[in-house]
Structure 1
Amino acid sequence: MSLVAKDAGADRLADAVRQVNAVRGRGRRRSVTVATALLLAVVTVFGLSLSVGDMVMPIGKVVETLLGGGDGGSRFVVLELRLPRALLAVLVGAAFGLSGGVFQTVLRNPLASPDLIGISAGASAVAVTAALLFQVSGLALSASALAGAVAAGAAIYLLAWRQGVAGQRLVLVGIGVGMGLSSVVWYVMARSDVTDAQEAFRWLAGSLNGRSWGQFWPILGALALLVPLTAVAAHALRPLQLGDDAAAGL
């Protein structure tokens, strides 16, 4: 009887292992399918962005220009106007995706992102205040936005601390802080000159219009530093999906 019971237990364990492996396999196939579809979409839009515009160019001519051919006009349009803008769009999108993935893992919330928990609002509040009240611009304005994001993140973390930081509490505190900082943005813009407020709003919304290689290289350098660090930290972030207590135990 004991041998029969052991065999039955082994069979149940084997069935459970097969079911878990089947679920994991479906998840991997789905992830690969979605990633492939998104990659194809990015490549398609990237190619169209180099081809379509005030001067429409066939894809063949775009490829020829990228390989060093083409006349002076096509080289200027593709290499100096459209290519840096398209590459910058890809890098910025990758940065958004990277930050969203980190926040979703840490907070165990598929909707988490820097703009949800108030970090983007902190950057916006400091940047708008610096631009409209102190006429800050250029790299100084970007630095002020970064400082605002760091300060907002630190404040949210401290306000959410109760013998540790729970993901849900951090999200709720971040939403409240973000709403308060957003009101600061709109108040400063409402009290400023209309033209200046429009420029500030355009800066907040963001635009790839007129972007050049000068804006591309700093973003590339930042991602070249942050992507490997995030990849190294990804293994340590996975236990957070099991909860704070389980992660601390692991």
Structure 2
Amino acid sequence: MSAEVRQSAHAGNPRLGSFPVPVVGGWASVRGLLVATVVTVIALVLAMLALGLGDLPLSPGEVLQAMFATDGGFTSTVVRDWRLPRVLGALVFGAALALSGAIFQSLTRNPLGSPDVIGFATGAYTGALLALTVIGAGAISASVGALVGGLLTALVVYLLAYRRGMQGFRLIIVGIAVTAMLHAANLFLLLRAQEEVAMAAAIWGAGSISLLGWPTLVPAIVGLVLCSPGLLLVPNLRQLELGDDAAAAHGVSVERSRIGLVLFAVALVAIVTASTGPIAFVALAAPQVARRLTGSAGIPLASSAAVGALLLLGADLIAQHVVPVDVPVGIVTVVLGGVYLLTLLVQEARSR
């Protein structure tokens, strides 16, 4: 199918309800690659600066020396054991959340189609709460509960939204309804839990990477790497953006590909939620910011991941060094996401 046909078949300006199908190739691909590279470089520079911020301020040269030092002094401990897991976690988890949001927004063809809106992050939190408050499990079991909760929520939403095929708008509406019910269930679990357990679960539920260390980060990164074969379905995702009929005509197994992409995206957000708690709005905002930076009609996955890493790292720096009191990064992303959502709604109102 030619670029002209694809453009004419999906003409119109992007709105809250849908956006056109991307046209692959040409200047759009070059600009997307350039944006992904520039944003990644900015994120790495910001990460280097973040490693030097704190009660023990360090210059970039001192940071590099501490990272590669062999004597294991105090500065090396501060950089490698205390600060590096948090900075690396912000980059990796931000990229994973943004990639998950990009996949869901592409599947639903709706900028509101992100896992935190549809309810998968909330389902992961419910699974962790059940492990903490009902079973009385520890951190590892809570992480497993979050992963299982996210996957089960995805299954329920998918089954409820499926009617002779999957439509993005129906998936979002069902997901919002399931999210509301899960929020009520989470509140019920917190109210019935013991005070110390409820406090710990509530703090974890705010979404924080302040206590992230290598014992938590390494298994999460391994889990994300094990999910990486899901990237092989990205070409099918681009075909699905043309519509189910066009994708089927090109030899794509529509429902199998869609289910595989949903599982991949849910696994990404569930692994992050299991490690940090639910961090809202990164999956919602990062893909749309990347789309505007690249000028693409569709959602660029690589640029979305780079923007997500930069957004979460920046939000964590605000939570640490700008806000007078050290707060969970999830609170900062909710504030920033609320501003983004208001801006999106204003733009939509003006476009009409």
- Could you say whether these structures have the same fold, taking a TM-score greater than 0.5 normalized by the shorter chain as the test? yes
Letter aligned with residue 178 of structure 1:
T
Q: RMSD over aligned Cα, in angstroms?
A: 2.5
- Name the structure 2 match of 1:105: 106
- Name the structure 1 match of 2:200: 199
| Separation in structure 2 between the aligned mates of residue 226 and residue 196 of structure 1, nearest angstrom | 31
CA contact (8 A) 2:190 2:198 kept: yes
Can you list the C-alpha shifts for 1:23-82, whole angstroms capped at 9, x where unaligned? 954423442343234213311221122100111111111111223267711111111111
Letter aligned with residue 166 of structure 2:
V
For residues 209-228 of structure 1, what are the structure 2 equivalents within 5 Å? 209-227=210-228
| Separation in structure 2 between the aligned mates of residue 243 and residue 165 of structure 1, nearest angstrom | 11
Within the alignment, does 1:143 sit opposite 2:144 as a pair? yes
TM-score (norm 2): 0.60
Can you list the C-alpha shifts for 1:124-165, whole angstroms capped at 9, x where unaligned? 122213212332222111111111111111111111111111
- Name the structure 2 match of 1:127: 128
| Separation in structure 1 between the aligned mates of residue 197 and residue 91 of structure 2, nearest angstrom | 29
Q: Secondary structure of 2:116's partner?
A: coil
CA contact (8 A) 2:85 2:214 kept: yes
Identity of aligned residues (%): 36
Letter aligned with residue 167 of structure 1:
G
- Name the structure 2 match of 1:235: 235
Within the alignment, does 1:114 sit opposite 2:118 as a pair? no
- Name the structure 2 match of 1:10: none
| Separation in structure 1 between the aligned mates of residue 187 and residue 232 of structure 2, nearest angstrom | 39
- Name the structure 2 match of 1:175: 176
CA contact (8 A) 1:121 1:182 kept: yes
Q: Secondary structure of 2:241's partner?
A: helix
| Separation in structure 2 between the aligned mates of residue 105 and residue 120 of structure 1, nearest angstrom | 18
CA contact (8 A) 2:131 2:141 kept: no
| Separation in structure 2 between the aligned mates of residue 233 and residue 24 of structure 1, nearest angstrom | 19
| Separation in structure 1 between the aligned mates of residue 82 and residue 212 of structure 2, nearest angstrom | 8
Q: Which structure is richer in relative contact order (CA contacts within 8 A, separation 6 or more)?
A: 2
Q: Select between 126-135 and 152-161 the one with higher mean Cα deviation.
A: 126-135
CA contact (8 A) 1:115 1:121 kept: yes
The structure that has the greater radius of gyration is: 1
| Separation in structure 1 between the aligned mates of residue 214 and residue 240 of structure 2, nearest angstrom | 38
CA contact (8 A) 1:50 1:86 kept: yes
Aligned CA distance change for structure 1 residues 214 and 123 (closer, same or farther; 3 Å): same
Gaps of 5+ in 2: 9-22, 251-352
Aligned CA distance change for structure 1 residues 111 and 29 (closer, same or farther; 3 Å): farther
Q: Secondary structure of 2:115's partner?
A: coil
TM-score (norm 1): 0.83
Aligned CA distance change for structure 1 residues 135 and 23 (closer, same or farther; 3 Å): closer
Letter aligned with residue 247 of structure 1:
A
| Separation in structure 2 between the aligned mates of residue 23 and residue 130 of structure 1, nearest angstrom | 45
